[in-house]
Structures are given as C-alpha cells and as structure tokens.
Structure 1
Amino acid sequence: MTDETHATTTIGVILAGGLARRMGGGDKPMRAIGGRPILDHVIARFAPQCDGVILNANGDPARFSAFGLPVVADSVADFPGPLAGVLAALDWTAHNRPGVRWVASVAGDCPFLPRDLLARLHEARAAQGAKLAVAASGGQSHPVIGLWSVALREELRHALVKEDIRKIDRWTARYPLATVSWPAEPVDPFFNANTVEDLAEAEKLATLAG
C-alpha cells in the first residue's frame, strides 16, 4: 500500500437512523425498489469504494442482520440526526480501525449513488486543502453525503453535547470545505426516497441509473 493510498483509506457509514415519518414510520432503507431493499442498492454502489462499511442505526440491530454489516448506534444519547450518526462512525473507526483517517457518510435511502463518489470527494479535498468534503447536484448541497476527518471527532462531540448543534452545514461551516458537484440528469445520483411517491419515482428511475 502506497502512502497516498493509505492516506485515503476510508470507512463508509450508511446513515439509517431516520424515522420515515413521511412513509408512515419504519426503516426507509428496507423499502423495496426493483424487488430489492433500498439498502441493498446503497451497499452495492457504496461498499466497493470503501475499506469497510458500517451501518448507523438505533434500536434492535437484528433487523439488519441479513446485510452482514456492523450496526453501530449513536454514541451520544438523545441526539437524533445525521451528525450523531457521523460521530458514531468516527468513534467506531477510531476504536476499530485506528490507522484510518477518513469516514465517508451516505444516506440509507439514496439508491443511485455515484460509483466515483469517494474518488472525487478525496480529489477535491486534497486539491483544496480542505478538512471536509460534501456532495452536490442540481445546484443543491447534500451535507449528509460527505467525507469526514476522524481527527475532528472530539470537536464534533463538543458541538453536539455542549453546543447543541444539530444541522450538518452549521458545523461544517467552521472548517475548510470542498463541495463536489455531480450532474442531476438523467438521474440525480443523490435522489432520496422520502415518500411513497418517491418510491414510485425510484422504480422508474432505476432503469436509467444503470
């Protein structure tokens, strides 16, 4: 392994902690598209880019056992939301893969993720000297789809516990941030299934996504 390869070794975390209120509750990533759970589509696109993938979810981890991923609950109590999931992933990586410096996060309800996600995030981060990187498409930033430095985990913990910061972009604004854009046509790679109507749309888009 070269120094550069080691420098970009990345653990992936799939954030699956949402309550799916607009779908009537339950786990959004377990809803089906094309006869397969959304989570299955996410793993298929994301895992080949990572040096290991974990799933951030609260509650009984057994419901995800079929996917064969470590399930990591939020490491800070009573802080629902994606930043808590990112912190859980940073903590897991620090304890289980101490040589790894980066964690990439994606949403568990994005079935069409780009296959060059990590490569482009790391390229932009390195080129711009940034500490973090996030994805964008169609003129919109997607802060849940991002690249995080394990070295910032205690700063993130402080922001969550002491400052009650919940919004991702409020926290990332403190650091040099690279934003990488992808085209939104013919399919937005960061399309996420939030509603029953979105599921129907995803069925149509699946044939275009490849």
Structure 2
Amino acid sequence: MTQDDITLLVLAGGQGRRMGGVDKGWSLLLDKPLILHVLSRLEGQTRAVLINANRSLDAYEQLGYPVITDLEGDFKGPLMGILSGLSAASTPWVLVVPCDTPALPQDLVTRMIGGIGDHDIAVAHDGERAHPVIALMRCDLAADLREALAAGERKIDRWYARHHWCHVDFSDQPEAFINLNSPEERMNLGQRLERDGST
C-alpha cells in the first residue's frame, strides 16, 4: 500500500451535541475553522480527499474537495459517515479522521500504512486509549458495513471486531489526538499550538 491507494475521509457530518449543536467543522481555533486545521495537517498525503457533511454543504464545497452526505439521513452516527465514504471512494483504502481533531500527527498517513500489516482495519492508539474514528480501512468492507447498519449496529468498536483489525501505536504523541468538545478544550489547545508553533 502507498499513499496513492488511500482517500482521506474527513467526518464532519455529526450533530455536535456536546458543543451545543454547532457544526464543529466551522468552529474556530486560532481564527481558523477546525476543518481547515485537519486538512492542512494531512494535505497532499493521500490521492484524494472526501468530506462527509450533512449541513453547511455550500461552505464545505468551497474548500475544493468533493462533499458527500450520509447515504441515509437522521444522523445515524460515524458508521454511516464511514459507509458513505467507503462507497464514494475510488481508491482501495480510506483513512478516516474526524473534523474536531485539529492537532493530528503530521505523519499519520505513513505511520498508519506502516502499522496495518495484513489487517483490514488499523485504529490509532495514543498509548492510553484507542481512537476508533481515526482509522485506515479497506473500501471493500462497505458491503459488510451496510449489512451491519441495516441490522441496527451503531457501535463502531463492535463493527471493527467483526474484522481482522489492529492498533497503531502513537504513544509518543498522545496530545495529537485531542478532540474538542468544549470551549475550554479549544482555548487550551489553541494556547498549546501557539506555544509549539504548530499551527
């Protein structure tokens, strides 16, 4: 597998309930929307980029990448966004990331490729916990995921467990996986990024 075999899928289709229902992709961090932080961390590292969104579609389309909505409505969670991306991608692999993790490792793509081995799914692990929505997976899992969703499955961990999957160790940079669910977290991360000069 090379970077040319991968489509980056940014999940921006959630309801943002823990942030008061806002569209998290357009929440500002250091005067820049979260979606732009994520895209800039991984820019040019995959053959293609897809953005999964269910609102603010015109704004997302202006970023210059294809925007795909969930195949089924009613905000059915990240698995539906993943299925929509797997179904739309033209590459054999998809790397899924959320739009609210603006400090992602800049070597995320190469390390996920290096860590997946012969598995069908690789999930980032920060040394303390896994991050299920940061995952590299085969696009041909779409049919099985469609069946799981039709049967009522909504738990991402349970769907992964149906397949040959592994963790990829990022314990050397756990702070890269902070996701923002409150104004306080946003302020703290903004201060850290400014201090580190990694904006």
Q: Does the 8 A contact of 2:25 with 2:34 survive in 1?
A: yes
Compute the displacement of 1:158 (Å).
0.2
Task: Give the alignment of 1:61-210 within 5 angstroms.
Answer: 61-78=57-74, 80-93=76-89, 97=90, 100-126=91-117, 129-161=118-150, 163-183=151-171, 185=173, 188-207=175-194, 208=196, 210=198
Runs of 4+ in 1 over 6 A off after TM superposition: none
Compute the displacement of 1:76 (Å).
3.0
Q: Does the 8 A contact of 1:29 with 1:39 survive in 2?
A: yes
Give 3-state SS (helix, strand or coil) of 1:86's partner. Answer: helix
Residue 27 to residue 184, structure 1, CA distance change in 2 (3 Å): farther
Give 3-state SS (helix, strand or coil) of 1:103's partner. Answer: strand
Give me the TM-score of the superposition, normalised by structure 1.
0.87
Q: Percent identity?
A: 36
CA RMSD of aligned residues (A): 1.8
Aligned to 2:7: 11
Compute the displacement of 1:20 (Å).
1.7
Give me the TM-score of the superposition, normalised by structure 2.
0.92
- CA distance in structure 2 between the partners assigned to 1:20 and 1:155 by the alignment: 27
Q: What number of residue pairs does the alignment pair up? A: 197
- CA distance in structure 1 between the partners assigned to 2:80 and 2:172 by the alignment: 28
Give 3-state SS (helix, strand or coil) of 1:151's partner. Answer: helix
- CA distance in structure 1 between the partners assigned to 2:160 and 2:45 by the alignment: 23
Q: Does the 8 A contact of 1:11 with 1:102 survive in 2?
A: yes
Q: Deviations over 1:7-61 (max 9, x none)?
A: x610011001121222222211111111111111100012322111110011351
**Which amino acid in structure 2 is aligned with residue 20 of structure 1?**
G
Q: Alignment partner for residue 30 of structure 1, among 5, 26, 37?
A: 26
Gaps of at least 5 residues in structure 1 are none
- CA distance in structure 2 between the partners assigned to 1:167 and 1:154 by the alignment: 17
